[in-house]
Copies of this chain bind each other. A is one copy, B any other.
Amino acid sequence: MCATYRALCRHGYADLTMQDIADEWAKSKAALHYHYDTKRGLLLAFLDHLFESYTERVADPAEGTPHERLHALLAAALDPPRADATRELRTALFEVKAQAPHDDAFRERLERFDRYLQAEIRGVVGAGVEAGAFRADVDSDEIATLLVTLVNGAHSRRIVLGDDAGVPEAIRSFVDDHLVEEATADR
């Protein structure tokens, strides 16, 4: 999986060959084929691997106030560790996303990331509304949809722009202003 990671960073998705991955692994292509029949099979396994570390990283920390937990969740989804090293990987994964309309197995695996993030956000927002930390009129489903879409948009814009364009800050103030309004509207 580390070899696949490095090969994707180095070559991107479109041009990636089994040979590239075998080279990073420092083993033969035959040895690689012993484990994975095709590049597609190996990449599906790689997406499973990424999803596992995603669920470890982007999980409700379950400590602190709901407001703090939501910020921590979003920061983990927006700013992965080793952001520089992962720029190439993000770009490669963006290319993988473009395969989703053509391949249901890719689509299914990619959907899982958003579904997981959506459930975690909905949980924290729901807990915050219940505890009175967030406004009572907040719809946790709708907020989760907005925030997952903002995270997707942030990743997409970062690839095109090469920088954040103030998006993480805008998302943070959205949470502060929209969910935790000091003077709550009376409805």
CB closest residue in chain B, given A118? B165
In whole angstroms, how far apart are the Cα atoms of A181 and B88 in the complex?
A: 42
Name the residue on B nearest A173 (C-beta): B142
Q: What are 7 pairs between A and B in contact, CB < 8 Å? A: A12-B98, A14-B14, A100-B160, A111-B160, A145-B167, A145-B170, A185-B185
Q: B111 to A156, Cβ gap below 8 A?
A: no
Bound complex: CA A155 to CA B183 (Å):
34
Residue of B nearest to A155 (CB): B156
Q: How large is the interface on A (under 10, 10 to 19, 20 to 34, 35 or more residues)?
A: 35 or more
A107 located at the interface, meaning its Cβ lies under 8 Å from any Cβ of chain B in the complex: yes
Residues 33 to 90 of chain A near chain B (Cβ within 8 Å)? 87-88
Chain A residues 155-183 with CB under 8 Å of chain B are 155-157, 159-162, 165-167, 170-171, 173-174, 177-178, 181-183
State whether the Cβ of A150 lies closer than 8 Å to any Cβ in chain B. yes
Question: CB-CB contacts of A131-170 with B at 8 A, as 1s and 0s?
Answer: 0000000010010011011111111110111100111001
**Contacting residues, chain B, for A116 (C-beta < 8 A):** none
- Chain B residue contacts of A153, Cβ below 8 A: 148-154, 156
Q: Is the CB of B97 within 8 A of A159?
A: yes
Looking at chain A's contact residues, the main secondary structure is helix
Distance, CA A161 to CA B107, complexed state (A): 7
**Partner among B97, B157, B183, B186 whose Cβ is within 8 Å of the Cβ of A186:** B183
A110, CB-defined interface residue at 8 Å: yes
List of B residues within 8 angstroms of A88 by Cβ: 101
- Taking each of A91, A92, A152, A173, which has the highest tally of chain B beta carbons within 10 Å of its own beta carbon? A152
In the complex, are the beta carbons of B98 and A162 less than 8 A apart? no
CB pair A185 B186 closer than 8 Å: no
A20 close to chain B: CB less than 8 A: no
Inter-subunit contact B101/A91 (CB<8 Å): yes
